[in-house]
Structure 1
Amino acid sequence: MTARIGVITFPGSLDDRDALRAVKLAGGEPVALWHADADLHGVDAVILPGGFSYGDYLRCGAIARFAPAMTSLIDAAKGGMPVLGICNGFQVLCESHLLPGALRRNHHLHFRNRDQVLRVESTSTLWTQDYQQGQEILIPLKSGEGAYMADEKTLDALEAEGRVIARYVGGNPNGSLRDIAGISNEAGNVVGLMPHPEHATEALTGPSTDGLGFFTSVIRAMVPA
């Protein structure tokens, strides 16, 4: 059995093909999904890729949240389907209320594009189990609205429940509260991450292969040895 991992393409998605390739490199079967199609075609998990869905009009991810594919995905995620939102996908997950909080403009008001060190804080999610807690990984970051924001009560709950899955190391690149780079929902099947693990899966093109673990993690969860 091979895990079938869908990647939804919205108008303005940029990294959907990279995500599909990462799934293939990790040993899964990549399945391209279209935002206007409510049918998820029997996939085992879904990735919302990076980019600028609908040109980031209104708010990043605010329009994509109402796509037919998202209507189906929200129900599937609440039923336990693994979902990973990368960069713009993280924004879509917050707009969909599958994850708490919001992503706002970087505090310096500049687009930030650099290789970023992260510390893995939680290995209990379906997307991070192939890492070690406290492990530092190097993956690219590229965003203009990447600052994670939430009220203190929400932040305290995320910390207490072990739902901060990664933090920035070596300086906060965007002003995210408590250096948060990624979070999960309570069940651990939905994860949002601002940096791009799909761009760190091959030694030839990435700064490392450290991002591959996000994809092998969910595939191992779907297809136990």
Structure 2
Amino acid sequence: MPAARESLLDAAFAALARRPWSAVRMVDVAAAAGVSRQTLYNEFGSKDGLARALVRREADGYLAGVDRALAAHSDPRDRITATAEWVTSAARDNALVRAMVTGCWSERLPSPTLSAVPSTSAVPAQRRADGPLPTPGDFVSLVRDRAVTVLAGPGALRSDTADLARSCELAVRLALSCVAAPPGEGGVADLVRSALHRQAG
């Protein structure tokens, strides 16, 4: 991603932390990124285009975190537990991620339509951002499928992974419930380990 585009997205994200999206001005985002307003419009086309690109970037970052969590351990249960912890912490720490995975968009946030919008952008990253954005259900499936792919290994048959897929989806959904109602002592890790132990038993 070109440096100017990334700087503009950083500036937009920082502005969103200070004020509601409706009060974020394109001229201020451009100034904070150290580029002209025309550069901002060349990259994103409009404020809605900027919002879609920002949401897409945060979605991609969330899924990259899932991949890192899955790679952090060798034991399958530890991998699932680490992934569940990431799902919860990413949603807790990032209002855009929380909105994406729960579907609860506050009035402070941009709320771009999840379906694809017509795009005439010459910027490939913007054309991707103008495509369909993941729904909360899509995120569950994306995380579950990534976990199954890593845990089952290459060449696994779909029929052999049905139980694994159910365990992974259970862990993801349990983690998402902890976003809405944070767990007490032991946190999401204890809940996930306990649920996986019962399911295996």
Q: Do both proteins adopt the same fold according to a TM-score greater than 0.5, normalized to the shorter chain?
A: no
TM range (shorter): under 0.3
Q: Which has the larger radius of gyration?
A: 2
- Select the structure that is richer in helix: 2
With normalisation by structure 1, the TM-score equals 0.23
